[in-house]
Chain A
Amino acid sequence: MSDIAVAGGSTAWRGGLGVAAQAAGKRVDARRALQLALAGVWLLDAVLQYQSFMYTKGFSQMLAGTADGNPSVIARPITWDATLVGHHLVLVNTLFATIQLLLGLGIAFRPTLRLALAASVAWSLGVWWFGEGLGGVLSGAASPLNGAPGAVIIYALLAVLLWPADRQAPAPFTAARAVGAQVARALWLVLWLSLAYFALTPANRAPGAVSGMISGMESGQPGWLAAIDRGAASLVTGQGLATSIALAVALVVIAAGVYMPPEIAKATLVLAMVVALVIWVVGEGFGMILAGGATDPNSGLPLVLLALAYWPAKAMTAPAAGTERTAS
């Protein structure tokens, strides 16, 4: 992938950064790989933000809609922000998209990694409030299937956990390197227990809640995805309570998994990734990207990245000697 010196022939074309550069360039440790994945997600968010829909009143109306059900102290700034966006749609939306583009590029570009990660945390918190209405956490609309607690708050969590520092070495898993194992595990526990809680709220355990939510994803999706949604919705029709309980049990197991011995932890992390992928495909329809008008891929994808950050260290690619100078 990288264009590195190769002895012989047309070296001028090929460049010549040498063997040392090749070795350094090729090795990427687990944390750097996850940072790059996060950068890729920000890049995807940026190009999504440039879509035509974001330059219509529909975008500001979508923002305003996230105020619904929130306490007024939360809702008023959202409404103000939506009005502002509505009045300066082209300028503000282009600014939003460009900021996200710069975040993605900044994380990928090693010299600006820290700055970009720090900025991404601040930006994520802002978007979580003004763009996602705190993910519906306070409005009662949150569900693990519809993206709770909000995709961007998971981006922020990832940015913190993937911060290029080593508080604990050797760390039992990548996410523990920056904040320590205890804090990392606690954050994981809070996140997944909160998802379990949201799965059991009255709105989500009603008989038709889950099937309604899934079938609501069909609109505008490609045929194959709509067919999956239809099949999944029919599978859980009228089974809202049972589905919610099963989902909550799985989420609690996942939450506790990081406190288990590595082999069990791995199994629960695989479960976490499977659940996240099911949520992403069935519950979120890939964030409705294929239907047009999505601002991000929603929570399923970042949840998978988060689970990878907790994978026990020995199974991940160990940081290679000499890479710390440049990587992560």
Chain B
Amino acid sequence: MTPAWLLDIFAALMLVVAAVSAARLVTARPWVRGGAAAGPAGPDVDVAHLLMAIAMAGMLSASLTTLPNTAWEVIFGLMTAYFAWRVWRDAQANGVRALAGGHCAPHLAHSGAMLYMFLALAAPAAGGSGMADMGGASGSAMQTLEYPTLAFVFALILAGYSVWDLDQLSGRRYVLAGAGVQLATAHVPAMAGGAEPAAAALSSPAVTGDAASPSAPSAAGPLPGGSRGRGPGVRALLLSPGTTVGCRIVMGITMAFMLVIMI
């Protein structure tokens, strides 16, 4: 039997992801700033991460009670439909490659996997009471998934996206140092919806990969959203796409883990 403490560790990781996603939402306040337009790391993604992380934590830990399975099925059904629509639009705009490599494709895979997990739970306690009893091979009363081939396919896809995300994240290390500066100087004003700050961002030293100017953060002036004095670094880090991708990597691996141990 997969030890309960191991499942609890993964559940704790998911709660961290949920907290980070919630903090991103609260910090950026898209409902105030009109930044709700869906982007590759937009609020829709954070909402998706938040819901998925809570659902997974609830599945992993017997001590956590979240929503009933039916509610999650509806939520992830809607989420899957939404990201399928986004991927479809992306493919229409950017070609067939967007179906697998577009910004929304991993989110579609994640939500599809979540929907599958809730729909395919086949076993004695499919009532959302945690997965402490899950696992397929040792035979006792355990939660397993119907159509295990799908579980395997989803696990492969999720593992693939996770390593790809990690590669992309680490591949940008030369410009990541500047990204924080860029976020501090250009992104926050851009949240108001103006195109000019974004254009400025594209011409900033950070974009070209040059070393960021140490004076750049102060040039941004006080940050909106009450973060004055809290330091732009934390805020920039929280709102950076790297944080979103990091959350996605952790969730992808955890999801693959859950799928495999329920085969």
Contact = CB atoms under 8 A, between A and B. Distances in A.
A292 B263 contact: yes
Given A11-B187, A43-B253, A52-B261, A25 B172 contact: yes
Contact of A7 (B37, B163, B199, B242): B199
Contacts of B3: 55, 90, 94
26 contacts: A1-B106, A2-B169, A8-B195, A9-B35, A11-B191, A13-B191, A16-B202, A17-B176, A18-B202, A18-B204, A18-B207, A40-B160, A43-B159, A44-B159, A44-B256, A48-B260, A52-B135, A52-B261, A53-B138, A56-B1, A56-B138, A58-B138, A101-B253, A104-B163, A110-B170, A110-B171
B206 interface: yes
Interface in A174-207: none
Dominant secondary structure of chain A at its interface with chain B: helix
A88 interface: no
A14 B40 contact: yes
A13 B253 contact: no
A108 B179 CA distance: 21
Band of interface residues on A: 35 or more
A12 B188 contact: yes
B161 interface: yes
Contacts of B222: none
B241 A3 contact: yes
Nearest to A98: B6
B102 interface: yes
A3 B175 contact: no
Interface of A: 1-21, 24-25, 28, 32, 36, 39-40, 43-44, 47-48, 50-53, 55-56, 58, 90, 94, 101, 104-105, 107-111, 222, 224-225, 286, 289-290, 292-293, 325-327
Contacts of A101: 253
A3 B24 CA distance: 15
A53 B137 contact: yes
A140 B182 CA distance: 62
Contact of A4 (B156, B165, B190, B241): B241
User: Of residues B2, B169, B199, which shows the largest number of chain A Cβ atoms within 10 Å of its Cβ?
Assistant: B2
